[in-house]
Chain A
Amino acid sequence: MEKVILCIDDEKIILDSLRIQLRRELGYQYGLELAENAEDGLALMEELTDSGVKVIVIVTDWLMPGMKGDEFLIKVHKRFPGIVKIMLSGFVDEASVARAYKEANLFKCLRKPWESEELVRTIREGLNQLDKQQ
Chain B
Amino acid sequence: MGLGILIFINMTSSKPLVLCVDDEPVILSALNNQLRRYFNNHLTIETASSGEEGIEILDELLSEGRDVEVIVSDQLMPGIKGDEFLTLSHERAPRSLKILLTGYASLESVGNAINHANLYRFIGKPWQEDDLGITVREAINVYWREKLIAEQNETLKTLNHELEQKVRERTRELLQKNEALEESIAVTVSTQRKLIQSEKMAALGQLVAGVAHEVNTPLGVIKSSIGYMIKSYDHILRDFTRILRVLKAREMVLFLRMIELVNKEFLTTKEERDLRQKYFGWFAENGLHLSKISADCLVEMNLPANLEKFLPLFRHERAEFIIKAAHSITMHEKNAGHIKLAADKADKIIFALKSHSRMDQTDSIGRIDLARNIETVLILYHNQVKQGVEVIKKYPASVVQLDGYADELSQVWTNLIHNSLYAMQNKGKLTIEIIDSHPEEVQVNVTDNGPGIPDEIKDKIFNPFFTTKPVGEGSGLGLEIISRIVEKHMGRIELESTVGVGTTFKVFLKRSHK
Contacts and interface: CB of A to CB of B under 8 A. Distances in A.
Interface string A32-62: 1011100010000000000000000000000
Contacts of A11: 217
A10 B386 contact: yes
Contacts, number: 105
Contact of A17 (B267, B269, B292, B338): B338
A40 B217 CA distance: 21
Given A13-B266, A91-B383, A65 B388 contact: yes
In this complex, the member of B217, B293, B331 whose beta carbon has the largest number of chain A beta carbons within 10 angstroms is B217
A98 interface: no
B50 to A, nearest CB: 119
B249 interface: no
Contacts of B293: 28, 31
Interface string B336-352: 00100110000000000
Contacts of A13: 217-218, 221, 266, 338, 341-342
Contacts of B386: 10, 64-65
A20 B268 contact: no
Nearest to A90: B216
Per DSSP, are chain A's interface residues mostly helix, strand or loop, or mixed? mixed
Q: By DSSP majority rule, is chain B's interface helix, strand, loop, or mixed?
A: helix
A112 interface: yes
Interface residues of B, number: 42
Given A65-B386, A90-B212, A20 B225 contact: yes
Contacts of B232: 24
A66 B269 CA distance: 17
Interface stretch (A76-84, A113-121, A122-130): A113-121
B223 interface: yes
Query: Which of A15, A20, A23, A32 has most chain B Cβ within 10 Å?
Result: A20
A99 interface: no
Nearest to B342: A13
A17 B217 contact: no
Interface string B290-322: 001100100010000000000000000000000
Interface residues on A, range: 35 or more
Interface of B: 209-210, 212-225, 227-228, 231-232, 235, 266-270, 272, 292-293, 296, 300, 324, 331, 334-335, 338, 341-342, 383, 386-388
A14 interface: yes
Interface string A1-35: 01000000011111111111101100010011011
Contacts of A20: 224-225, 228, 300, 331, 334-335
A2 B293 CA distance: 11
B387 A63 contact: yes
Contacts of B266: 12-13, 16
28 contacts: A2-B292, A12-B266, A13-B217, A13-B266, A13-B341, A14-B221, A16-B300, A16-B338, A17-B224, A17-B338, A20-B335, A24-B232, A24-B235, A31-B292, A36-B268, A63-B387, A64-B386, A65-B388, A66-B387, A66-B388, A90-B215, A90-B220, A91-B212, A91-B383, A111-B216, A112-B216, A112-B220, A113-B220
